[in-house]
Structure 1
């Protein structure tokens, strides 16, 4: 059964940004962590490659672009492992898509957004100091059977 049409109905505008993060595994099954530079929010904090989706961009293409922009690494086997809504540091609502990906590279070349990196074992990765959203993506990526 359908409800009756309400002539006073007004749609609510969409107000969410869309972004993504990728948990990247190397051939040794280690996780890539990036340290945020002093030019970014959460300076010195650990991070995963990611960013915002560009207008009209496919999310899979977008995360591959972001990983390459931030690390010069090429990824494959990209899969979605997590989707959640967050309120960012500016108080804006965002939907964040968490991906899992693999690379054959081991020596990232960092963009200005990061000033350090580390490849961390699966076991040790869960002990990294991460924001809750990042931790959620990591745990989903680690639990996802390949």
Structure 2
């Protein structure tokens, strides 16, 4: 099982940050809430701060745990843990993604999300 943290990052306008996985990556072409693999001894919140700085050059502040979704991509078991987070600073520079967008919660259903993320799309899109 691979433990992964995802951040539902909100800007001051109430929009959420989503990113599309680039070609050559698993789930290429699908949208996701940014994050990454949790390393040994690391909390989900620490992982998100580190990953968002490494992969997008931005500072965030995770503040509310949303839940977990266990998903299997064939033989690969992903445990996706999600947090709400606030965007703090930085200009987005993409590493593992080929596109990003700030979107309204009601727009989330217009994007083709990776299966593991869909439970969180439904969770925040319904609010």
Q: Please classify the TM superposition score into its range, dividing by the shorter chain length.
A: 0.7 to 0.9
Do the aligned partners of residues 143 and 60 (structure 1) sit closer, same or farther apart at CA in structure 2, a change above 3 Å counting? farther
Shift in Å, 1:25? 0.9
| TM, length-normalised to structure 2 | 0.86
User: RMSD of the TM alignment (CA)?
Assistant: 2.0
Partner SS for 1:55? coil
Corresponding position of 2:87: 103
- Pick from 78, 93, 102 the counterpart of residue 94 of structure 1: 78
Give me the whole-angstrom Cα distance separating, in 2, the residues matched to 1:66 and 1:35: 16
Give me the whole-angstrom Cα distance separating, in 1, the residues matched to 2:7 and 2:25: 18
Do the aligned partners of residues 32 and 83 (structure 1) sit closer, same or farther apart at CA in structure 2, a change above 3 Å counting? same
Contact 1:72 1:109 in 2 (8 A): yes
1:103-142 alignment, distance < 5 Å:
103-105=87-89, 107-111=91-95, 113-142=96-125
Any unmatched runs of 5+ in structure 2?
none
Do the aligned partners of residues 120 and 57 (structure 1) sit closer, same or farther apart at CA in structure 2, a change above 3 Å counting? same
Do the aligned partners of residues 42 and 69 (structure 1) sit closer, same or farther apart at CA in structure 2, a change above 3 Å counting? same
Runs (4 or more) in structure 1 with deviation over 3 Å come to 104-107, 141-144
| TM, length-normalised to structure 1 | 0.76
Number of paired residues? 127
Shift in Å, 1:117? 0.9
- Report which of the two has the higher share of strand: 2
Corresponding position of 1:4: none
